[in-house]
Structure 1
Amino acid sequence: MKFIKYLIFLLLIAFIGMAIYTAVQPNDFEVSETITINAPKTVIYDVVSDSTETDWSSFWKATETLQQTSKTPIDSINQLFTSDRIKKSELKWTFTSNSDGSTNVTRVLDAEALSFMTKAKLALFDDKEEDISDQFKSDLESLNQKVLANMAVYSIKVDGITDYGGGFYMYSTISSTSGNIRSSMEKQHSELVTFMNTHSILANGFPFTIYNEMDSETGNVIMSTSIPVSEKIIVAENSNILCGFMDRTLALKVTLQGNYTNLKEAWAVARKHLADNNLEASSINPFEIYRTDPKKVLNPAQWITEIYIPITDNRETL
């Protein structure tokens, strides 16, 4: 009987000691993790902003509430969590651009006013920072995968036969290997824009590329980077930037929404449609029109490219 009394007494002392120890533990803690994602911060911000009602963490339970308190477009998001175990906690997201086009994403949990039971658990198991830190790392990696998947989305649509109006355009022609088509195109476009600005020539539509020659085996091309204008422009004889004219024509139109890396597939779809429907390409060179500016629309999944393959007018009824 005395043993039981002593045991109860010792347990009571241990309980009181544990309660005192728990009571003097800090009422707050902070956990921070950072990941570098190979994407513009605008794209990442949009993905996180779309998920703020449920958050990105398995740490938070369904019974807990989340409220967005403030945000600075593309730079930061602050959220406030309340629950029985943590009376008040702030979750801070910051997005910092790097020179290589990637973004550092930092997630900070600033927890305050911990409940007694939560403090007791943390005091006993001492897992608050390590546990949440591991969860944050996992959550940020999930975010990384979601952002990359979001940017990789694309679709190819065969729009069918259309009547393309043609018109005057400024252009510059070069040859390019398959590996540097995009960089060559960007360089040409920049030079073309500079020339037009210098000579006060106004653009009259979206930029486009005419493929004068396309080697289907090597992928090498001779191409003219072009910008439409409203009238014929007379240029100096020694200028490498010229003014051309495209006749009005019927053309097969195929639209790619997505990264330019999917253009090869889009062209294959266009050529297959020509063959399957007994359509004959005309002598007018095929071309691409770019309806979005990658410098303004940073998510490649939203880029719009239209492929036009001019055709002869003796096609069969589709």
Structure 2
Amino acid sequence: MKAIKYIIFLLLIFFIGFAIYVAVQPNDYAFNRSRTIKAPTSVVYDIVNDYKEWPRFSPWIEQDTNAILSYEDKTSGINAGYAWEGEILGEGRMQTLKTVSNKAIEQQIDFLKPFESTSKIHWTFEPTQDGTKVTWAMAGEQDFMTKLYVAFSGSIETNTGPDFERGLYKLDSIVQADMKKFSINVEGITQHSGGFYLYNTASSKMSDFKQKMQEMMPIIGGYALTNNITMAGKPFVIYHKWDEENDAVIFSCCIPTTSKMTSSEANILTGQLEPFKAVKTKLRGDYENLKESWDQTMKYIAQNNLELIESGPMIEVYLTDPMSTPNPANWITEIYLAVN
């Protein structure tokens, strides 16, 4: 009998001691994970700020594919939110409390089942030389039940940190995939209206063409702005020679104008396009897909028994500005090839 009492006494001491140990654990927690994603900051921010995108990169929804999601009021911006219910995830909801465009997002996550708790989520987006540094942070308070849970299962960071790392990895993957999306539409025969334009001309190796064009286009555009010249449309490039065999391209960077202009600089000239019959193709996507766009245009010309005018205009019109449209998947380019 004394032995039983002694055992009970020892167990009581153990439970009291363990309860004290649990009670004196930190009352709050905080941790974060970061990853640099090679993408414009606004592209990454827009995906994270839209709850409809979360199933694509959420590590928890990946674990519970049968979870039921419901979006509350709106899916992005302040007060946007979504709720979930699943066998693995339990029940909970998340709401956006504050946003600073392209810089930060503050959210609150409420777990309802299997136990109740509330945490704050903080995202930051920092432009870097290599892209965007994304930091995903979580902080909250630990009540006695939470402390008891982590005493057996490990800290919240130990359990949740790997999920954050997985989520950032998946976010990186979907951002890269989204930026590579493109579509090519050969619209067929059209009539290009022609018109006056200002231009500068250069030749380069084909491998240097993109860099050279990026240097020349701002010069011609800046001249137009400095001299209050009204632009009659979007900037374009005219290809005069494209010689893959000799690795050479001759081209002009152009700004359309409403009338014939007189240039005060020797390297900026005035030209005029006469109206011409053309096959038109529209590319939505990165400029890396232009070669395929040209190939499809040439294929269309051959299949429809049209004749390419070798000395005729070959034009790329850039309807979007990469500075104001950072996602390459949204860039729009039109190609016009003169035909008979």
TM-score higher than 0.5 here? Answer: yes
Q: In the alignment, residue 249 of structure 1 is paired with which amino acid?
A: F
Counterpart mapping for 1:52-71 below 5 A: 54=54, 57-58=58-59, 61-71=89-99
Which residue does 1:207 correspond to in 2? Answer: 235
Q: 1:173 to 1:53 in 2, by over 3 A?
A: closer
Q: In the alignment, residue 294 of structure 2 is paired with which amino acid?
A: W
Asked if 1:243 is matched to 2:273, the reply is no
State the TM-score, normalized to the length of structure 1. Answer: 0.90
Q: In the alignment, residue 51 of structure 1 is paired with which amino acid?
A: Y
Query: Residue 105 of structure 1: which of 134, 143, 147 is its match?
Result: 134
User: Quick check: 1:86–1:118 contact (8 Å CA) kept in 2?
Assistant: no
1:40-73 CA deviation, whole Å, 9 max, x = no partner? 1101100101137857544683511111111111
In 2, Cα distance between equivalents of 1:2 and 1:52: 65
Deviation of 1:148 after TM superposition, in Å, equals: 1.1
Q: In the alignment, residue 300 of structure 1 is paired with which amino acid?
A: P
1:226-279 CA deviation, whole Å, 9 max, x = no partner? 11001111235x712111111111111111101111111111111111111111
In 1, Cα distance between equivalents of 2:49 and 2:289: 28
Counterpart mapping for 1:186-225 below 5 A: 186-217=214-245, 220-225=248-253
Q: In the alignment, residue 33 of structure 1 is paired with which amino acid?
A: R
Query: Residue 279 of structure 1: which of 306, 329, 333 is its match?
Result: 306
User: Quick check: 2:47–2:53 contact (8 Å CA) kept in 1?
Assistant: no
Which residue does 2:26 correspond to in 1? Answer: 26
Deviation of 1:181 after TM superposition, in Å, equals: 1.3
Deviation of 1:161 after TM superposition, in Å, equals: 1.0
Which residue does 1:38 correspond to in 2? Answer: 38
SS at structure 1 position matched to 2:91: coil
User: Quick check: 2:282–2:334 contact (8 Å CA) kept in 1?
Assistant: yes
Equivalent pairs counted in the alignment come to 309
Q: 1:163 to 1:147 in 2, by over 3 A?
A: same
Asked if 1:295 is matched to 2:320, the reply is no
Aligned-pair identity (%): 39
Query: Residue 91 of structure 1: which of 121, 134, 140 is its match?
Result: 121
Q: In the alignment, residue 118 of structure 2 is paired with which amino acid?
A: K
Q: In the alignment, residue 306 of structure 2 is paired with which amino acid?
A: L
SS at structure 2 position matched to 1:83: strand
User: Quick check: 2:106–2:121 contact (8 Å CA) kept in 1?
Assistant: yes
Q: RMSD value over aligned CA atoms? A: 2.2
SS at structure 2 position matched to 1:234: coil
In 2, Cα distance between equivalents of 1:29 and 1:139: 20
Which residue does 1:315 correspond to in 2? Answer: none
Deviation of 1:146 after TM superposition, in Å, equals: 1.2
Which residue does 2:48 correspond to in 1? Answer: 48
In 1, Cα distance between equivalents of 2:6 and 2:182: 73
SS at structure 1 position matched to 2:211: helix
User: Quick check: 1:86–1:111 contact (8 Å CA) kept in 2?
Assistant: no
Which residue does 1:316 correspond to in 2? Answer: none
Deviation of 1:186 after TM superposition, in Å, equals: 1.3
Q: 1:72 to 1:62 in 2, by over 3 A?
A: farther
State the TM-score, normalized to the length of structure 2. Answer: 0.84
Asked if 1:171 is matched to 2:205, the reply is no
Give the unaligned 5+ runs of structure 1: 313-318
Q: In the alignment, residue 222 of structure 2 is paired with which amino acid?
A: T
SS at structure 2 position matched to 1:39: coil
SS at structure 2 position matched to 1:64: strand
SS at structure 2 position matched to 1:159: strand
SS at structure 2 position matched to 1:295: coil
- More deviation in 189-198 or 222-231? 189-198
